[in-house]
Structure 1
């Protein structure tokens, strides 16, 4: 499957991966931005498969209804009910604490629409689970996947967010007007 994913991503679609996911530590939060199109998902899945690194994801529960539910779960997805305040951050921290190896990919924007401010759940998940954050982006302008080293948050949220934003500076998503 790894070879097949590489063939599709590199040969057919023309994408290159600048760097892979860190091998250590075995647990971290991956934030991927900008998230501007549904196309981001299949490219991210192909990237993950071609690198041989499982990165789980959460998505709105409507995506997990028949006939697609089995497919999204098989890809490592978990449905969430975004209409309820169900303490999702604490639930995800528990998952990290109960696994030897776990990587969770999230979009800090929380949507494909243009947003002024990122959601902060990923930050509090990393803080509560005591895991680093890895930044990833799909640079559509250059057809490159870029992945950072693991970054351990400092506890200074403002400084940490400046660090995150610097990684994504000048990156254009599929729909740059939504970046």
Structure 2
């Protein structure tokens, strides 16, 4: 995994305190904490319905002391923004050639030298979708790491780390449980997210 702002001395500390202050001033609450067994995990980012999700996610990452990496479409990594996006923890994904993404992501998690939380939005996009993509599930299953269920609830202005989920391999049963947890949360564009679908 490449070097990011989250492991950059001094800058990391300044941004952590800035994030704490911003969230508090704007009325956001942070809930939960990263458990030791989730130092390497797949972190679900849901609901994902707006471009605003990224800055709030990054601020939450500083507050919770995470070492997050997130996947984004390759277009946002083009010059001049590419180096900045990578420094913020971004990993470019070419959606036309992502057939080996699960294996590559799982291998990266297994071989990481230190803590890594790989953020994967199950919707795969901020637009309304009918079904969740299952890449996050198979990355965790293949890498044998837990799924950290994280949430951002714009209705109640809260962002948090919920329970850990260990995939059993029975994806149909497991997805019912995961979606049941997310049914309570509202994204910024609430009509674009429905965990029951």
TM-score bracket, normalised by the shorter chain, equals: over 0.9
Is 1:38 paired with 2:51? Answer: yes
Q: Secondary structure, in 3 states, of the residue corresponding to 1:59? A: strand
Distance 2:18 2:104 in 1: 34
> Taking structure 1 as the reference length, what is the TM-score of the superposition?
0.94
> Taking structure 2 as the reference length, what is the TM-score of the superposition?
0.86
Q: Secondary structure, in 3 states, of the residue corresponding to 1:36? A: coil
Distance 1:44 1:35 in 2: 10
Q: Residue by residue, what CA displacement relative to the aligned partner does 1:58-114 show, whole Å, maximum 9, x if unpaired?
A: 111111112211111111111111122441111111101211422100100001111
**Corresponding residue number in structure 1 for 2:162:** 148
**Corresponding residue number in structure 1 for 2:19:** 5
After TM superposition, list the pairs within 5 Å mapping 1:1-179 onto structure 2.
1=14, 2-11=16-25, 13-100=26-113, 101-179=115-193
Unaligned runs of 5+ residues in structure 1 are: none
Q: Secondary structure, in 3 states, of the residue corresponding to 1:150? A: strand
Q: Which moved more, 1:13-22 or 1:119-128?
A: 13-22
Distance 1:86 1:169 in 2: 29
- The alignment of Structure 1 onto Structure 2 pairs a total of residues equal to 178
Distance 2:187 2:178 in 1: 16
8 A contact 1:136–1:148 mirrored in 2: yes
8 A contact 1:22–1:149 mirrored in 2: no
Q: Residue by residue, what CA displacement relative to the aligned partner does 1:22-70 show, whole Å, maximum 9, x if unpaired?
A: 2323210001111110011110101101222111111111111122111
Q: Which moved more, 1:41-50 or 1:1-10?
A: 1-10
Unaligned runs of 5+ residues in structure 2 are: 1-13
